[in-house]
Amino acid sequence: MHFASFDLCDPVFDACGLRLSAQLVTLENFYGIDAERTRVETGAGRVRVVASGLRFAGGQRRCGGSLELVAEAREPGVVRLRVAATAPATLRCAKLVLRDLDPALAASTDGASFAPVADHGELFSYPMRIPTPLVWLRAGGDVLALRCEDDRVREKRFAFSRERVGPLAGRGAAELIFEESAPRFAAKVATPAFVVDRRGDAARAEAEHVAWTERAFGLAPWEARGDVPRWARDLRLVAVLHGMHWSGRVLLDYAQMLDVLRFVAARIDGRHVLAYLPGWEGRYYWQYGDYRPEPALGGDAGFAALCDGARALGVHVMPMFGANCVNRTLPKYAALPDAMHMKSATGNRFHGNTPDWDLSRAHDTGWQAWLNPGHPDWRDDLAGQIESLAARFGFDAVFLDTTEVWTNDPDHDVFDGYRALGARLRAAIPDVLLAAEYDYDALAACFPLFQRAWWTRAPAWSRRFVRRFAHLCEGEPEGRTGVHEFGAWKPGAIPAEPGLLATIAFQDGTLERSGDAVEAAIAAACASS
């Protein structure tokens, strides 16, 4: 986190047991309240701060604008905060700052495991880092549950630090930041409610937040979801069949994939098995955007034989598709319009996590273009390819890669694009199971099955709504990661946990080299049937 080298001179207001300041961020500067043009109204359990002007440059300069901050204590220990404001320029964010906190700060995303806030501060952002806008802050002996009640996917940031300058230097501060959806930026902003819960009951705070989220996004329990085909409720095992590496190395061709499925289906009823196919279309990620069976893996005939053979075994096939990424050097993507690229609120193009695919140690993936599924032309292109392939080869499950990626794109709403893509595919492909990557609260209402890596397993509360399987880089007995860029990872079986489907990954030589481990993993999956 970065900070100003001077005191911002923001006035501090006592409200419902909290010490509060407020700030605004436009596309060209940041502003605070002008204390000389502010009045405070108090009532039973309610404080209203009304400012008829703003200051900036650490209070040196004045300008027009307005801000209303309302704090309400509807029940003991719980304060609800809202801000409505106008500014002389286009507003991006409204920020509430809890000030004068004990400087012994520690943060948590589950209310149980706390980590100290370092000198450089700590930042949690939704939806890219945390799956719902709920975090905990311990300040000395006090524990605050901090959350936001917003029925739209808009970025919230929770920033914790110790103040560096001014009369409160050395004291703790918690910033509660709301960023408006970029297509809706204007010279005014109104935040949803931020809730500060000081009761010290983490389970209660989480339960109340989850109940609110369930209503807001229409989340349904797994057993009642309407987007889960009947056949998918019998799944117990995901068999990850790695096809072609980015380099062009064949890990498993289509015939070898079918051989693996025959081995698996001889040991567990095929109707319990989902065959997940990363790298089925050719060079992993390099071929993204132009999906077709890869000639070097067996071509159309080989892929058809794989799908038909799996169906005969009772196994359902799930090819992998990039929901938002293409190789821009492919001829069909040679002239992408700027509005199709995924970008930040100020127009910086998103470039993903830049894997070192070519081992140059440069992490230079300029050939990749990250596209916004909210753009109708890209969404139609991708959906059309998936629908055509599903009709031709008869697969009835689809994995959409990197759906966790979200930016506050000024041209099209990213989340709305994912939701529209899912709705179209469900309408076009009979009895389809849609799986995605890394769920967050609203995304869990769009897709019922998610891939999640062991190092970022989702909170326990979300198991009520979705099922998960391990990341494609996990599950190979020797720890090899197949098409994934890690190369090798933690070997061994994936520990069982509620709501997580057993996952076994296969690449070249897995059965021959690790047959006993595969047998044991299948037996464990059978035991869960």
Domains within the chain, CATH numbers bracketed = 13-217 (2.70.98), 225-324+373-527 (3.20.20.80)
**Where do we find the tokens 């095929």?**
270
What percentage of the chain has pLDDT greater than the value 90? 95
Residues 6+ apart with CB under 8 A from 373: 323, 324, 379, 382, 414, 417, 418, 420, 421
Mean pLDDT score, 197-214: 98
Structure confidence at residue 85 (pLDDT): 99
Distances from the Cα of 428 to the Cα of 185, 321, 383, 422, 431, angstroms: 35, 16, 9, 10, 9
Q: How does pLDDT run across 460-473, given as a tens digit for each residue?
A: 899 999 999 999 99
**Where do we find the tokens 């005969």?**
312
Mean pLDDT score, 379-405: 98
311 pLDDT more than 70: yes
276 pLDDT more than 90: yes
146 is written with which tokens?
């901090």
Q: Which is higher by pLDDT, 493 or 501?
A: 501
Q: How does pLDDT run across 3-18, given as a tens digit for each residue?
A: 999 999 999 999 999 9
User: Could you give the CA distance from residue 458 to residue 440 in angstroms, rounded to a whole number?
Assistant: 8
User: Could you give the CA distance from residue 514 to residue 495 in angstroms, rounded to a whole number?
Assistant: 18
Q: How does pLDDT run across 230-275, given as a tens digit for each residue?
A: 999 999 999 999 999 999 999 999 999 999 999 999 999 999 999 9
Structure confidence at residue 318 (pLDDT): 99
491 pLDDT more than 80: no
Residue 119, number of CB atoms within 10 A of its CB: 9
**Residue count of the chain:** 529
455 pLDDT more than 90: no
Query: How far is C-alpha 242 from the chain's CA centre?
Result: 24
490 pLDDT more than 80: no
DSSP string, 84-125: EEEEEEEEEEEEEEEEEE-S-EEEESSSS--EE--TT-EEEE
CA dihedral 278, 283, 284, 290 (to 10 degrees): -90
Residues 6+ apart with CB under 8 A from 455: none
Share in percent of the chain as helix, strand, coil (round to 5)? 25, 35, 40
Residue 307, number of CB atoms within 10 A of its CB: 26
Structure confidence at residue 263 (pLDDT): 98
Query: How far is C-alpha 203 from the chain's CA centre?
Result: 23
492 pLDDT more than 90: no
User: Could you give the CA distance from residue 51 to residue 34 in angstroms, rounded to a whole number?
Assistant: 7
Q: Find the distance separating the first CA and the last CA of the chain, reported in whole Å.
A: 48
Which candidate, 96, 190, 185, 106, places its Cα nearest to that of 147?
Answer: 96
b/e string for 16-42 if b means 16 or more Cβ within 10 A? bebbbbbbbbbeeebbbbbeebbeeee
CB 365 within 8 A of CB 349: no
529 pLDDT more than 70: no
Which candidate, 126, 292, 220, places its Cα nearest to that of 446?
Answer: 220
Q: What is the mean pLDDT of the chain?
A: 97
pTM: predicted TM-score of the whole model, two decimal places: 0.96
Structure confidence at residue 360 (pLDDT): 97
For 440, counting Cβ atoms within 10 Å of its Cβ (0-12 exposed, 13-18 middle, 19+ buried), the class is buried
Which candidate, 294, 252, 297, places its Cα nearest to that of 276?
Answer: 252
Q: What are phi and psi of 17, to 5 degrees?
A: 85, 5
419 pLDDT more than 70: yes
SS3 250: strand
Mean pLDDT score, 195-218: 98
Q: What's the Rg (C-alpha) of the chain?
A: 25
User: Could you give the CA distance from residue 210 to residue 421 in angstroms, rounded to a whole number?
Assistant: 26
b/e string for 221-245 if b means 16 or more Cβ within 10 A? eeeebebbbeebeebbbbbbbbbbb
